[in-house]
């Protein structure tokens, strides 16, 4: 750079932020060793971290976790073959490494150090339905407004390993961090939110997911509200104004001294929906009101539930000090995630059919929402491939049987029901032809995803069909999606 350019007035006025003095590399050997009280085999720098050797990229640190059934040290060769720069290990190895007593504890130490050094505004997201999609949308909004200086947990890294791993991956110069937190039992989110220590804590919605372990929606609301316990001083709780559990969530937030921001259709919502109409791209044109004014924006994702999700995103971005206009642009450009709404045009006799991939997760609320979306999707025929909903316990039979009503309302022509728990719905649909407003389509029951593939092939998907694939991840309906999308285009 020339001396004249260095003396240019514009460069002299360019602000130097505290984060600008932080290192460019994610971690170096000396820092990792100091944080984990380990011993480095030499000098190195890493640009990423992973615990799965299959996902390692060039420049990554491979953390060899020791579990009850799996030992990550067995995969060191594969990790380094895939490009790992070094490993975090609990025994001497021939590769560049940092030797520690406990690799899990060391990962948690790196996570704590990453959270401590960051100047980023941190957003934590939980909820019974929609947390991954909302997390991705908040990230997209903040990524856009910060010009690439936002970080988030990828996929559904929302548990006792995924959350610290996501934190340890956060670059020092990040301006925003967005982290998803999930749970199956009471107390789990409390532990995760202590790691994340968010400035903004978001609850998307409360629904009977994991009700088998918690017993009631009220207990689910209490467990989700644990996220407020990790808020930094002066932090903000973002909660759904239309939820029947709004007062319960607000009471938890108030008790902890959090600011409360609400979103929804309710008249007193902080960020309130004024209007939503279908947009040309299949999504919605949304108008909302908030204390500073009104805003109109497009939501690319179809479905009524994404209107509410978008309000949640806007409320979180506003609370984090992000750019709401950039958030509107991000929502207009978002596409569906794999297993969570991705839409595929698949080859079919006569042309193309639409396949909607919701194969990653399912609970009663999300089943109803996606079936309603299917019902609003223009199609020659509507086909629903529905897998069992897990972790519903004694409530499971009733919740599965109750899907007959949304199936009928969506005018589904054919349903493929997959898994043992879906037998009760099959029996319910068998009664429907004799009822005036019952399910009028055909259906078949399958034991597993392989049988479901055969059943759908036998039924025959043709041009103009819309096929919804929805179920709990353990049912394996992702196999069916993969089978039918291999030739999509």
> pLDDT tens digit string along 293-350?
999 999 998 888 899 999 999 999 999 999 999 999 999 998 777 777 888 999 999 9
Q: What percent of the chain has pLDDT over 90?
A: 76
Residue 19, pLDDT score: 61
The answer to whether 471 touches 389, Cβ cutoff 8 Å, is yes
| Phi, psi of 153, deg, nearest 5 | -70, 135
What's the average model confidence in pLDDT over 460-471? 95
The answer to whether 126 touches 202, Cβ cutoff 8 Å, is yes
Highest mean pLDDT among 2-16, 79-93, 126-140, 271-285: 79-93
Lowest-pLDDT range, 128-142, 299-313, 419-433? 419-433
Res 158 pLDDT > 60 = yes
- The backbone region for 453, taken as left when phi is positive above 0, alpha when psi lies in -120 to 50, beta otherwise, is alpha
Res 443 pLDDT > 70 = yes
Lowest-pLDDT range, 80-94, 206-220, 344-358, 441-455? 206-220
> pLDDT tens digit string along 222-252?
999 999 999 999 999 999 999 999 999 999 9
Residue 375, pLDDT score: 92
Give the residue with greater pLDDT, 369 vs 5.
369
Rounded to whole angstroms, the Cα distance separating 438 from 433 reads 6
Residue 10, pLDDT score: 64
- In which residue are the tokens 């193309």 written? 352
Domain topology for 118-333: 3.40.1190
Residue 433, pLDDT score: 56
Helix (H) or strand (E) holding 126: strand 121-126
Rounded to whole angstroms, the Cα distance separating 410 from 281 reads 21
Rounded to the nearest angstrom, the gap between the alpha carbon of residue 102 and the centroid of all alpha carbons in its chain is 29
Say which residues have a Cβ less than 8 Å from residue 235's Cβ, sequence separation at least 6.
198, 199, 200, 201, 228, 258, 259
β 414-418/284-290 pair status: unpaired
12-103: CATH, from 2.60.40.180, 3.30.750.24, 3.40.50.1000, 3.40.1390.10: 3.40.1390.10
Res 133 pLDDT > 70 = yes
> pLDDT tens digit string along 175-186?
999 999 998 788
Tell me the CATH class for 342-485.
alpha beta
Q: Where are the domains of the chain?
A: 12-103, 118-333, 342-485
The runs of H, that is alpha helices, within 153-273 are 162-168, 188-196, 211-214, 217-224, 246-255
Rounded to whole angstroms, the Cα distance separating 250 from 259 reads 10
Q: Give helix then strand counts, H and E, for the chain.
A: 19, 22
What's the average model confidence in pLDDT over 171-196? 94
């Amino acid at each position: 750079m020339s001396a004249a350019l260095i003396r240019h007035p514009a460069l002299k006025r360019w602000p130097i932020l505290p984060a600008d003095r932080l290192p460019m590399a994610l971690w170096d050997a000396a820092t990792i060793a100091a944080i984990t009280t380990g011993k480095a085999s030499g000098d190195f720098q890493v640009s990423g971290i992973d615990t799965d050797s299959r996902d390692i990229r060039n420049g990554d640190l491979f953390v060899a976790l020791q579990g009850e059934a799996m030992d990550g040290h067995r995969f060191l060769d594969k990790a380094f073959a895939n490009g790992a720069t070094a490993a975090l290990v609990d025994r001497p190895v021939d590769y560049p490494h940092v030797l520690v007593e406990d690799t899990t504890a060391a990962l948690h130490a790196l996570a704590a150090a990453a959270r401590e050094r960051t100047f980023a505004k941190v957003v934590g997201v939980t909820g019974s339905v929609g947390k991954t999609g909302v997390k991705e949308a908040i990230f997209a909004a903040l990524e856009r407004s910060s010009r690439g200086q936002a970080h988030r947990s990828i996929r559904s890294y929302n548990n006792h390993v995924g959350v610290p791993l996501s934190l340890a991956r956060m670059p020092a110069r990040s301006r925003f961090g967005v982290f998803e937190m999930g749970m199956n039992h009471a107390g789990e989110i409390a532990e995760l939110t202590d790691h994340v220590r968010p400035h903004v804590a978001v609850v998307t919605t409360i629904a009977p997911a994991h009700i088998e372990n918690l017993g009631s929606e009220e207990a689910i609301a209490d467990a989700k509200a644990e996220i407020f316990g990790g808020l930094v001083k002066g932090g903000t709780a973002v909660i759904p104004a239309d939820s029947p559990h709004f007062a319960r969530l607000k009471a938890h937030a108030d008790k902890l001294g959090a600011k409360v921001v609400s979103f929804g259709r309710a008249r007193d919502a902080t960020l309130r929906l004024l209007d939503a109409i279908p947009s040309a791209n299949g999504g919605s044109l949304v108008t909302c009101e908030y204390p500073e004014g009104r805003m109109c924006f497009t939501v690319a994702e179809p479905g009524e539930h994404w209107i509410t999700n978008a309000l949640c995103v806007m409320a979180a971005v506003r609370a984090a000090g992000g750019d709401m206009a950039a958030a509107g642009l991000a929502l207009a450009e978002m596409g569906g995630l794999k297993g969570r709404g991705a839409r595929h045009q698949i080859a079919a006799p006569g042309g193309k059919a639409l396949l909607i991939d919701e194969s990653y997760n399912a609970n009663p609320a999300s089943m109803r929402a996606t079936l309603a979306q299917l019902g609003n999707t223009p199609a020659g025929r509507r086909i629903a491939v529905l897998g069992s909903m897990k972790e519903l316990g004694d409530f499971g039979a009733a919740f599965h049987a109750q899907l007959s009503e949304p199936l009928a309302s969506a005018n589904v022509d054919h349903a493929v029901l997959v898994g043992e728990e879906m037998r009760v719905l099959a029996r319910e649909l068998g009664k429907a032809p004799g009822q005036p407003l019952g399910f009028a389509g055909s259906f078949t029951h399958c034991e597993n995803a392989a049988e479901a593939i055969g059943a759908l092939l036998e039924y025959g998907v043709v041009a103009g069909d819309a096929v919804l694939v929805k179920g709990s991840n353990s049912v394996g309906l992702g196999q069916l999606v993969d089978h039918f999308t291999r030739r999509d285009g």
